[in-house]
Amino acid sequence: MARRSEHSLEEIRTMVLNAAEAIVINEGYSALTVRRIAREIGYTVGSIYMVFNNMADLVMHIKARTLDDIAVQLQQVQDCAPGQCIAELARIYLSYASHNFNQWNMVFVQDAEIPEWYQEKVDHVFSRVEAQFAKLAPQCSAQQSKQAARVLWSGVHGICILSLLGKRDVAGIKDVENDILLLVECFIGGWVGSLLSGKEQ
């Protein structure tokens, strides 16, 4: 057939990305294949390699979209008392993960190598939490509040991972939310406490 210039390369790239994302949303990561995407956009497999290096490259760009989505969601949390703010950020994160499970879950399938622009997006998700830890204890170093943010957020993420792979019904999500709030409250309580009693180096 060889249709000429019906779409620009940029347009095809977007069509591929949109189709791929839709497949992931509706049927999960395992349903995503080049042939399937090609069929969906009305091109053949070869065309997809005009706009992405390979499957891994394409997948990385879908994941990037998801990270951007998450960052936008977290950005919308109102600024208030740091402890409450962090709890709210955690709630939003869980909410995103449970409502967009297939996309969220895909973000954490590891890749051979992570490009820098992608790592920056991951870091950006953390930035909001870091800022709150800095507010929580202005006396401590940036390094300490960064560590606290990374540690707590990894913990929140761990609960999401282990819990959402099982029960994903409404009652289940409520349990997960309780777990996350327990982690957030205890961690912050313990962290602030250890700073006050001077246990930190």
Q: Which residues bind DNA (CB under 7 A)?
A: 1-7, 9, 12, 32-36, 42-47, 49-50, 54-56
Spatial separation of the C-alpha atoms in residues 49 and 35, rounded to whole Å: 11
Q: Give the shortest CB-50-to-its own copies separation in angstroms.
A: 26
Residue 179's nearest CA partner among 74, 93, 71, 107 is: 93
> Could you tell me the two tokens for 12?
């095809």
**Shortest distance (Å) from residue 105 CB to its own copies:** 8
Mention every residue, 6+ apart, whose C-beta is less than 8 A from residue 118: 60, 63, 64, 67
From the list 35, 42, 68, 190, which residue makes contact with its own copies (rule: CB under 8 A)? 190
Site for its own copies in 61-90 (CB under 8 A): none
Are 167 and 175 a contacting pair, CB within 8 Å?
Answer: yes
Pick from DNA, its own copies, none: which does 4 bind, CB < 5 to 8 A by kind? DNA
Exposed, middle or buried, 108 (CB in 10 Å: 0-12/13-18/19+)?
exposed
Does residue 115 bind its own copies (CB under 8 A)? no
193 is an interface residue for its own copies by CB under 8 A:
yes
Q: Which helix (H) or strand (E) holds 111?
A: none
Looking at beta carbons only, is 50 or 72 nearer to DNA? Answer: 50
How far apart (Å, rounded) are the C-alpha atoms in residues 89 and 153? 10
Residue 10 contact among DNA, its own copies, none, beta carbon within 5 to 8 Å by kind:
none
- Contact track, its own copies, 156-185, x by CB under 8 A: xxxx-xxx-xx-----------xx--xx-x
